[in-house]
């Protein structure tokens, strides 16, 4: 026979398996890289939210000459009982219409749980929500059938409610000039996801642990558990550490869904990511006039 036949060798099973394994590794590495990029973007967005909130707080201060109350005192002294500091910043966060609606709601009905007129109670706002926590895109409907819009951020009340030595607490009216430790070394607000049952972490208004807003609007660096809700959790004081969305005890300290730490806004308007190792200086950062000398770590 004069015909020539070219024999083409196929892939062996071992070679196919090796190629498949390599592709699997590459896909895994690519997926991990994409996940890291997404996590970094969410962390940056969360920090940018806090930066805008801090800027709004400064704009509020420019007009009122003090920072907003962490939580408004009840009547008769307060005109907006239990309104949270974030609600007071609405005019400076491109939500002037909602602010006017809120003022009108309080004028007609001081009970913020009446919806309407208090439509803001059930209105999620992206500026108050860290994108890593998808729970915040919708209001949480509790046993009373009323939706609560949630927030990822807590104002810094200082050490704890019984020692309100920070800048945002029940009935507070702190001028920037009264922050003797320096605005660049004093916390304004930080991250803490809402509690698993959504009883704590409302941006519009809230009672907190003991009718003082603690846990809803403000949080301390060494908060105690008053045990009116979570009797199984330790008394504390609680330190800055990692948490998870299913543990109610993590309601009592700052933490985030980011890896290794959380974003914090400082009273000078800056935002920094503090790793959990920074807990050693967090108490000093939380006070406005403790006269501590603190070097803020640059992570």
Q: Cα dist. 153→116, 150, 216, 218 in Å?
A: 25, 9, 9, 8
Q: Name the 3-class secondary structure at 266.
A: strand
CA distance 44 to 202: 23
CA distance 206 to 81: 9
pLDDT of residue 25: 73
User: What is the rounded average pLDDT for all residues in the chain?
Assistant: 91
pLDDT of residue 24: 73
Compute the average pLDDT of residues 170-199: 97
Compute the average pLDDT of residues 275-296: 90
Q: What digits encode the pLDDT tens for the residues 266-275?
A: 999 999 999 9
- Confidence class for position 38, pLDDT limits 50, 70, 90: low
Decide: residue 143, CB within 10 A, 0-12 exposed, 13-18 middle, 19+ buried.
Answer: exposed
Q: 64 pLDDT exceeds 80?
A: yes
What is the four-CA torsion angle of 106, 109, 111, 114, rounded to 10 degrees?
Answer: -110
Compute the average pLDDT of residues 124-128: 97
Q: What is the CA angle 140-141-147, rounded to 5?
A: 80
Compute the average pLDDT of residues 186-204: 97
The residues spanned by each domain of the chain are 41-286
Q: What digits encode the pLDDT tens for the residues 76-120?
A: 767 899 999 999 999 999 999 999 999 999 999 999 999 999 999
Name the percent of the chain in helix, strand, coil, to the closest 5.
Answer: 35, 15, 50
Compute the average pLDDT of residues 222-227: 93
């Amino acid at each position: 026979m004069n015909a020539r036949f070219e024999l083409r060798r196929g892939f062996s099973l071992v070679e196919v398996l090796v190629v498949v394994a390599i592709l699997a590794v590459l896909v895994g590495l690519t997926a991990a890289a994409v996940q890291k990029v997404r996590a970094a973007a969410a962390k940056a967005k969360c920090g940018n939210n806090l930066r805008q909130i801090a800027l709004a707080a400064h704009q509020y201060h420019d007009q009122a000459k003090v920072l907003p109350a962490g939580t408004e005192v009840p009547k008769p002294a307060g005109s907006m009982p239990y309104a949270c500091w974030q609600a007071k910043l609405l005019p400076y966060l491109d939500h002037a219409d909602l602010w006017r609606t809120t003022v009108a709601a309080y004028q007609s009905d001081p009970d913020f749980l009446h919806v309407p007129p208090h439509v803001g109670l059930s209105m999620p706002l992206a500026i108050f929500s860290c994108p890593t926590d998808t729970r915040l895109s919708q209001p949480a409907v509790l046993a009373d059938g009323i939706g609560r819009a949630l927030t990822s951020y807590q104002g810094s009340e200082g050490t704890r409610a019984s020692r309100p030595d920070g800048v945002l607490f029940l009935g507070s009216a702190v001028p920037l000039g009264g922050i003797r430790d320096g605005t660049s070394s004093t916390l304004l607000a930080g991250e803490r996801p809402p509690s698993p049952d959504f009883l704590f972490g409302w941006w519009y208004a809230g009672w907190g642990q003991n009718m003082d807003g603690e846990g809803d609007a403000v949080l301390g660096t060494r908060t105690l558990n008053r045990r009116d809700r979570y009797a199984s959790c330790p008394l504390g004081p609680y330190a800055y550490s990692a948490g998870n969305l299913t543990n109610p005890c993590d309601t009592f300290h700052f933490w985030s869904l980011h890896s290794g730490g959380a974003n914090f806004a400082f009273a000078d308007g800056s935002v920094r990511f503090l790793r959990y190792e920074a807990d050693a200086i967090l108490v000093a950062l939380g006070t406005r006039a403790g006269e501590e000398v603190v070097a803020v770590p640059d992570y």
